[in-house]
Structure 1
Amino acid sequence: MLYHLDFRVEYPDDINQQELFTIWSEEADAALQAKQAGIVVDLWKCVGTRRVIVIVDVPTPDIVDQILLDLPIMKKMGQNVQVEVTSLRRYEDFAADVKARLETK
């Protein structure tokens, strides 16, 4: 199952920029390892904002929760990270469904 994860990272008052970069560096390492393992399909950092968009491929929604709870950025400053999760459907499957519906009418 594919999921679109939209991370928005707030800059908390209780850490400085260097500390934020240290956490973000750990997070980047974890994300790139997950990409290499095939869990992360791809990911992007949005320019000019503390926003990261990720597509993951996991068998169940439970694994999405487990991944989110184990991320370095969530462990160290999760109260400052908002994640919007959207389940995705392959467009090819949707298109086939639409065509099949046309054929039955």
Structure 2
Amino acid sequence: MLYHLDFRVEYPTGMSQPELFKIWAEEAEAALAAKKAGIVIDLWKCVGKRRVIVIVDVPDPDTLDQILLDLPIMKQHGQHVQVEVTSLRRYEDFAADVKSRMVSDLE
């Protein structure tokens, strides 16, 4: 199953930039390892924002939830991270579905 993840990382009062960067460096290492393993399809950092967009391929929502809970940024900074999750459907599958519905409606 494909999911679109939209991470928004807050920068709390009292945290130094080097402290945030230390956590983010650990997270980046984990994210790039997941990309190499094929779990992360691709990911992007939004310019000028503490926002990261990720497309992942996992077998089910339980696995995704487990992965999210184990991320370095969630373990160390989770109370300051918001993740919006959207389940995705491959467009080719959607197009085939629409096409098959048109054929059955014409009969």
| Shorter-chain TM band | over 0.9
Q: 2:62, 2:97 → 1: CA distance?
A: 27
Query: C-alpha separation between the residues in 1 aligned to 2:25 and 2:62?
Result: 26
The normalised TM-score by structure 1 is 0.99
Q: Which amino acid aligns with 1:28?
A: A
- Give the 3-state SS of the residue equivalent to 1:3 in structure 2: strand
* Separation in structure 2 between the aligned mates of residue 53 and residue 38 of structure 1, nearest angstrom: 16
| Counterpart-to-counterpart distance in 2, 1:64 and 1:12 | 26
In 1: Cα distance, 2:7 partner to 2:64 partner? 13
Tell me the C-alpha RMSD between the 2 structures: 0.5
1:83 paired to 2:83: yes
Q: Which amino acid letter does the alignment assign opposite residue 87 of structure 2? A: S
Q: Distance in 2 between matches of 1:33 and 1:19?
A: 22
Aligned counterparts, 1:24-63, within 5 A: 24-63=24-63
The one-character-per-residue Cα deviations of 1:41-92 (angstroms, maximum 9, x if unpaired) are: 0000000100000000000100110011000000001000000000000000
User: Which stretches of structure 1, 4 residues or more, deviate above 4 A after TM superposition?
Assistant: none
Provide the C-alpha distance between the structure 1 equivalents of 2:62 and 2:25, rounded to a whole number of angstroms: 26
Q: CA deviation at 1:18?
A: 0.3
- State the identity %: 78
TM-score by length of 2: 0.97
1:13, distance to aligned residue in structure 2 (A): 1.4
> Larger C-alpha radius of gyration, 1 or 2?
2
Q: Which runs of 5+ in 2 are unaligned?
A: none
- Partner in structure 1 of residue 20 of structure 2: 20
Please report how far the alpha carbon of residue 96 of structure 1 lies from its aligned counterpart in structure 2 after TM superposition: 0.2
